[in-house]
Amino acid sequence: QVQLVESGGGLVQPGGSLRLSCAASESIFRSYVMGWYRQAPGKQRELVASITIGSITNYADSVKGRFAISRDNAKNTVYLQMNSLKPEDTAVYYCNLRSRSGSGLLPWGQGTQVTISS
């Protein structure tokens, strides 16, 4: 059963903005730290941002100051607001339960494609 569904990706020009959404099951959302990950072609998957049950956030240095992760507990949804987008942000973005070490705890889903191009 699919318990995490990403959406909101698309094609954006450099400097533009995009907001990604991840809908989760209630039990998962209430019990785990949530994270956004991305994987560019030929690159390893990396943790971009995470948010705790108490809404404490953490970011990769490459996106700090440009991206913002948030959660809506009533909707069991986590968001990733992406501003000042750069071509190097182009990747497939995934959400997952985040382990303490930063790895994803569930099998990876389809993700949502984000392409930054002029």
Please choose, from the candidates 4, 24, 12, 5, the residue with its C-alpha nearest in 3D space to the C-alpha of residue 82: 12
Q: Is 25 helix (H, G, I), strand (E, B) or coil?
A: coil
Residue 14 confidence (pLDDT): 98
Contact (CB, 8 A) for 5 and 108: no
pLDDT band at 100 (very low <50, low <70, confident <90, very high): very high
pLDDT band at 1 (very low <50, low <70, confident <90, very high): low
Residue 30 confidence (pLDDT): 85
Q: 66: how many CB neighbours lie within 10 A of its CB? A: 15
Burial class (CB in 10 A: 0-12, 13-18, 19+), 16: middle
Over the stretch 3-45, which tens digit does the pLDDT of each residue have? 899 999 999 999 999 999 999 998 888 888 999 999 999 999 9
Residue 83 confidence (pLDDT): 98
Query: Stretch 67-73: mean pLDDT, rounded?
Result: 96
Which residues make beta-bridge pairs with 59? 49
Residue 31 confidence (pLDDT): 86
